[in-house]
Every structure is written in structure tokens, then in C-alpha cells.
Chain A
Amino acid sequence: MPRSLILPEFLVHRDEGRCTKCKACIRQCGFGVHAEEPDGRISANEQRCVNCQRCVVMCPVSALKVTANKEIGRENAYWSAERLREIWRQAESGGAILTSMGCDRNYPVYFDHLLLNASQVTNPSIDPLREPMEIRTFLGRKPEKLSIAGPPGEERLAGPLPPGVRLEMPVMFAAMSFGSISKNTVLALAKAAKQMGIMFNTGEGGMNPALGPFWDHMIVQVASGRFGVDSAYLEAGRIIEIKIGQGAKPGIGGHLPGEKVNEEIARTRGIPTGADAISPAPHHDIYSIEDLRQLIYTLKEATDYQKPVAVKIAAVHNVAAIASGIVRAGADIVVLDGLRGGTGAAPKMIRDHIGLPVELAIAVVDRRLREEGLREQVSLVAGGGIRSSADLLKVICLGADAAYLGTAALLALGCHLCQRCYTGKCSWGIATQDPSLTKRVDPEAGAERLVNLLTAWQHEIKEFMGAMGINALESLRGNRLQLRGVGLPQNELDQLGVKQAGEAM
């Protein structure tokens, strides 16, 4: 095999004065970077390093540092080192470059150009430590009108309400399949969801029997490969989500490579061990909004209209019209996954060059649904790059009912965003099926970290709301008056439906 021209992307620096040769780095690295030489030295094969920081964090004497290798040629503002590496890799492999997690390129981040409001003097702020703050939300279809029946004093709703799901706070864990992440990671998410009164999502991974205690907090996904979809699966979930697209790879399908399909994953997905789990780009029974309606109603019929049906799409240029069609097709919840949405594996070019930031997607869909008188009928969920409670509140002000957290949840479990989930070698034990690595995520301890994160966010949300003088999330949804734009041209402010900072109410 000819010699590779590609210099390592990262450099491993070992402080020989500190290193005690304890070999923790050798044991910790899932990628096999560190090794003991015959003379007793510890060496590093930097070609294999992905800069996941596992060895750096776990080194008991802080002897390690990993840095980016920027010295690969003459500096060039146009041909960046990353572009050069991509070309060299493709010249050697002939394949589309894979990557993981969300788009990391330097596109504008609208969250960082939006500022929230607060009350001063004329309308008082509310002290969240003293007064109740309502941060619950309900997902599902809302009836166009309510009918009341019964004699005076004993009035009741005339008919049943459509099925809905209560969230104790406006977040859910995004779809991450058993297969792309480990069973322990799925269990940590499920436990945390149950404890916080929110939902987690099976993704296309099917339903592992270990999830039995968490059915009340489970969203089951129906994607184009239909893995693990049977009547028991549909009955177990509280919400059924039809996945049309994903922010990290709009318009394309997905492959869980055969080497990741071990016996347990194969059983959960209902496929043979070792075979690729291929999700085709489209659902082959959905070529139109009318076809989508038929899948929505098939799922409703199959579950006797007991569960809300969500439809998840990647945010793309025509998202407002598409979302309108989805609502008219009968979806109870519309999920918009933005440009920054993560993935276990996607072609890098697709991930980095297709889509729409979720801030814009939610804003234009919320506006369109209001204009058409549809907004109040459905719930709108934002996904793709929610990094903090501030991002969450901003996206709610732009029109979302709730948000999905994927990347943020994995970060809480130790992920360092090395973007190598597709290799299955995750040193943090998250995106891997190797038993020696998966044990690094303990479901109990992981759930506790997730609960801590969400508890902190809850408190921040209440403080934000109190500052704004608002005591119910309901009053914040689509409340663009609470937002102002900084450093945005007028047409972007118009798309967001937000005024320039400095403009009064």
C-alpha cells in the first residue's frame, strides 16, 4: 500500500517528567493511539488520534496534552488545512467522507444575535424563588373548539380530548438509536427522562426489552427502514414519530454499518446479525403529502387513536410550506431539525452544506402556521443545536413548544465532540458497542448528570421568565416581543420576525 500523504490531524504531547508509565492512556484510548514500546517507553501513534481528550482527562498525573496539528503547509486563507485533508483523504480512499455530530462550520448563529428582554419598574419582574413558575407544556393536537355539556354547575367537556403528553419542562431527548449509541447510554437517557417527567426517543433502533420501565416516557420512531416497528413497539410508545429527515443529513438515508450490528442490536431491530441496517432516503410509501397522511392514519388506526403522531423533518429552504402540509396531513406534532442537528454518521459534505438554522426554521414555520390558522392545532418542536437554557428560551420565543436535546445530552455524559461516532470506537463509551468501552457510561451515574443539567436549566428558565415578568411558558411561546436582534440586517430580522435592538415595544 502506498504511503499516506496525510499528516496527523492532532499532536499528542507527553510530559515525560510527569509520566509515571502507569499505562492509563493505553487502556483509555478506544482508537489505539498509545502503546508501550519494547524499551518501556510509551509512544503515541498520532495518525489514529481523534482528539477526544479521553486520555488527557483520565491521565492521573496530567502528563498529556493533545493539540491540533496546524503545520501541514503554507498558510492559506482560502485552502484551509481541513479542505486539503479532505482532498488527500478522498484521493486515497475514493469514498465520501463520513463524519458525526452536527455541522461545525462557521455559518451565522442566530441565537448569538438575539437578546432577551427583562422587566424594569413599569412592569415588575417576578421572583421565581417566591412565586410559582409554570414551565410545563403539553404536546399533541389541540381541538379547534371545546364543547361543554351538562347541567349548570356540573358542566363537563362534551367529548374526549385528542391524546396529549405532558412535559414537566419544555425539553426532550432527541432520537438516538441503540446502535448509534450504547445500551447504557440509552438507559441513562431513559432514566433521566422518567425522573424529569420528559420524553426520550428510541430513534430507529427499535425497543430494547430493558426499556420496559420507561415506556411512559418513550417516543418510538418510524423511519424509512422501519427497523423494530411492530404492533408491540407502537403500543409501547407514548408518541409515535415518523422520521422523514434529520438536520445532519437532510434528504439522504442512513446506514448502520454491519460491523456495528451485533446480536443484540440485530434482535432489537429485527434484522440479521452483521448485515448493514440501511434506511433508504425516502420512505417508499411516502411520495407526497397525501401518502404521508396515509402513514399518519395507519399509525393512528393501528394504535386506536390513543397516541399523538409526530412528523420530524430536516429544516430545508421550503420548510414553511412543507410544515403546513404536514399539519394538514394530520400530524399532531411537527419537529423541525436544524442545520446543527447531530448524527451518528453522515457524509460530511451533506452535513455541512444542506439545511437551515433551526432559529429561522421555527420562526418561518410558526409565522406560516399562524397565517393559515393552523398553529394552535399542533405542537412545534425544535431540534438541532440547542446549547443552553438561553437558546431554549429564544427558540420558544420564536415559536417552538419544546426542544429536543441530542448533542447537549451526550456532552453531559462526557462526549467531547470529536465527531467520530461512525467509527464505533468512542473512548467515552457513548457511541460504541464495544463492551470494554460501553461500561464507561454507568446508567445511574449518567442519568444523574443529565438530571443535574436539566435541573440547572429549569432554574435558569425560571429566572429568565421571572426577569421578563412572565410566569407561564404559554405566554412565552412565539412571543417575539421578548426578543431583539443585534447585528442582523433587516431581511434577516424580518425572517425571524424580530425587531432591531433599541426599538421599543
Chain B
Amino acid sequence: MIRTTVGGRAMKVIESKGVHYRELNREIRRLVAAGEDRLLLRGVNGQRYIGAGLRGTARLEIEGTAGNNLGAMMNGLSIYVHGNVQDGAGNTMSGGEIVVRGSAGDITGYAMRGGKILIQGNAGWRVGIHMKSREDQQAVLLIGGKAGDFLGEYMAGGTIVVLGLDIPLQQEREGANPLIGNYLASGMHGGTIYIRGRIPAWQIRGQVQSELTTPEESPQLRSWIEHFAAGLNLDCSALSREIFTYLTPQGARPYAHLYDHSA
């Protein structure tokens, strides 16, 4: 075990190259339980389940590519990844923050019920499915690039923002918005989704209503963009007058009409 100093603060360093996930995670769990509050994982290359189920306030920095289900079911850690993450980052997490300098894979933030995920690059398919919220817990997923199909499917609460930084938008009204794929927000029955640019009606599945806004008009959207910029140390001020589409559910019971509930 060595210690290093990053940004003037001491961190414990775990050399992760070639270490099996089970061993690596056992070591992280042991150190966090022992009260270590800053860990640097060097040479991570696809190890799965890092930080899964952990609680507390420790900060994990990861150099390399984190494997599937990073921070799954965790509640409270702060994870910063200097690189990409594979599938399932923040799966069913209930608190804490995951910040990714690169891109994220499929099912990022699946069923997350609290905490925040910030992705500087793109996110894959099935992202933010079934996110939830309560008064005291709000799941937030901020994506700097674009996202794939099924974004926000079955969304029950929380917030998704897709910024599309440096991605040129279509000028024609009926042209596809390149920041999203197919089946956007199908079955959405709670929460809010903000997508930069206009979205033609054919790209939106029923069940939601869409309106236009700008960060200047919407303090909520502005605060998420500011949070994103601060978390990743980026300048997002150019977005302030950009048009965003925001989606909210038409009702909290999207499928009630499909069934005969009579006795």
C-alpha cells in the first residue's frame, strides 16, 4: 500500500492491474470500513462491481476503465472515473455520486432511486430505465454527449439531462434529434427528462408531453447544467440560450386503461 498526494490531499493507492475483482473489492471494502476516506485505484481494467453496496462518504478515484455494475446498489460513496465505464454503472444505487470523465455503457443508472451520475461523454442503450424519486431522494443522471435507445423507459421519478456538448443539431423541424435513439421515455410515469434541441413528434413514444425551454428560462435545468459543469470542471456557459425539450409524463398510471379492473 502506498500513499500519494493528489491535489494537495493524501490518498491511499491500490494498484489494481491484474487484480481479480473479488480481491480488489474486498480490499476497498476493508479500507472503507477502516475509515479510509480517499482511495485511488490505479490501472483498473474492467474489474466489475467496484463499490457495489457500499455506504459512507469515502471518495474513490479510478484510473482506467471500470467494469460492469460500478457502484451498483451503493448508498453514499463518491466515485470519480478518469476513463470510461462499462455497463450498469449506478445500477439500483440509492445515494452518492458517480462522475465519469469518459463514456458509459448500457443500463447506466437502471432503477436508481437516489444520488447522481455525471457522464462527460456518451451513454449507451437502456439508460435511466425505471429511475425513481421520493421527496427526500432524487435520482439525477446528467449526460454530456448523447444516449441510445430506450432512454428513460418506465421512468418513475428523478431527472435525466442530455446536453449533447459539441454535437451539431439538425436544423429541419422533422429531422431526428441525434442525441437520442428510439423508444424515448416509453412508459414514463414520473420525473423529468431534458434533451437539448427540438425532438420531432415521431421520435417520442406516447405517454409523455413535451415542451420547450432554455437554461435561462428554467432555473431547474440551469442548476443541473451548473452542477454538471462544476463536477467535471467544464465550461457549459454556451448552453444557456440553447433550446431544450423537456418531457414529463401525461399521468402516473400509463397502463391503467389496458385492464378491466371490475370485480
Contact = CB atoms under 8 A, between A and B. Distances in A.
Interface of A: 31, 48, 50, 89-90, 93-98, 222, 224-226, 229-232, 234, 255, 257-258, 266-267, 270-272, 274-276, 278, 280, 284-285, 294, 297-299, 301-304, 347, 420, 422-423, 425
B110 A302 contact: no
B2 interface: no
Contacts of B92: 222, 226, 229-230
Q: Summarize B's interface: helix, strand, loop or mixed.
A: loop
Central interface residue in B49, B111, B157, by most chain A CB within 10 Å: B111
Interface in B82-104: 87-88, 91-92, 94
B253 A258 contact: yes
B260 A276 contact: no
Interface of B: 21-22, 25, 29, 48-49, 52-55, 68-69, 72-75, 87-88, 91-92, 94, 107, 110-111, 113, 126, 129-130, 132-134, 137, 150, 153-154, 156-157, 187, 189-190, 252-263
Given A230-B113, A284-B153, A297-B48, A95 B257 contact: yes
B108 to A, nearest CB: 10
A272 B25 CA distance: 34
Contact of A284 (B22, B72, B126, B256): B126
B112 to A, nearest CB: 9
Contacts of B75: 230-232
B133 A231 contact: no
A301 B263 contact: no
B126 to A, nearest CB: 5
A98 B259 contact: yes
B33 to A, nearest CB: 10
A96 B29 CA distance: 49
Count chain A CB atoms within 10 A of each CB in B75, B113, B260 and give the residue with the most: B260
A301 B25 contact: yes
Contacts of A234: 53, 73
Contacts of A347: 259
Nearest 3 CB-CB pairs, A to B? A302-B53, A95-B260, A226-B111
A297 B247 CA distance: 35
Contact of A272 (B72, B134, B255, B261): B134
Nearest to B129: A284
B153 A276 contact: no
Nearest to B259: A95
Given A284-B107, A285-B110, A297 B134 contact: no
Contacts of B259: 95-98, 255, 347
Given A231-B75, A276-B189, A298-B72, A267 B134 contact: yes
Given A97-B260, A423-B261, A231 B55 contact: yes
A272 B88 contact: no
Nearest to B91: A285
A423 B260 CA distance: 11
A284 B52 contact: no
A278 B110 contact: no
A90 B49 contact: no
A280 B130 contact: yes
Given A230-B75, A258-B256, 18 more contacts: A93-B260, A229-B111, A230-B94, A231-B54, A231-B73, A255-B256, A270-B113, A272-B157, A276-B252, A276-B255, A276-B256, A278-B254, A280-B130, A280-B153, A285-B107, A294-B69, A303-B53, A425-B263
Interface class of chain A by DSSP: mixed
A317 to B, nearest CB: 26
A275 B191 CA distance: 11
Nearest to B49: A301
A34 to B, nearest CB: 15
Nearest to A30: B263
Contacts of B21: 301
A187 B130 CA distance: 29
A95 B256 CA distance: 9
A185 to B, nearest CB: 20
A225 B130 contact: yes
* Residue of A224, A267, A278, A303 with most chain B CB atoms under a 10 A cut-off: A278
A291 B92 CA distance: 15
Contacts of A422: 261
6 contacts: A96-B259, A230-B73, A276-B256, A284-B153, A285-B88, A425-B263
A344 B258 CA distance: 17
A294 B88 contact: yes
B260 to A, nearest CB: 4
A270 B74 contact: no
Contact of B91 (A89, A224, A267, A298): A298
A364 to B, nearest CB: 32
B252 A272 contact: yes
Contacts of B88: 285, 294, 298
Nearest to B68: A294
A89 B69 CA distance: 46
Contacts of A98: 259-261
Of A95, A98, A231, most buried by chain B (CB within 10 Å of CB) is A231
Nearest to A276: B253
A284 B129 CA distance: 8
Contacts of A301: 21-22, 25, 48-49, 52-53
A294 B154 CA distance: 22
Residue among A255, A267, A297, A298 with most chain B CB within 10 A = A298
B188 to A, nearest CB: 10
A277 B161 CA distance: 23
A131 B41 CA distance: 60
A298 B263 contact: no
A322 to B, nearest CB: 22
Contacts of B256: 255, 257-258, 276
A351 B172 CA distance: 48
B190 A257 contact: no
Given A98-B260, A258-B253, A284-B126, A231 B74 contact: yes
A284 B92 CA distance: 11
A231 B77 CA distance: 12
Contacts of A97: 259-260
Contacts of B263: 31, 48, 50, 420, 423, 425
Given A229-B73, A229-B92, A270-B132, A89 B260 contact: yes
A271 B132 contact: yes
Given A230-B94, A280-B154, A284-B107, A302 B73 contact: yes
Contacts of A274: 252
A255 to B, nearest CB: 6
A90 B262 CA distance: 11
Contacts of B55: 231
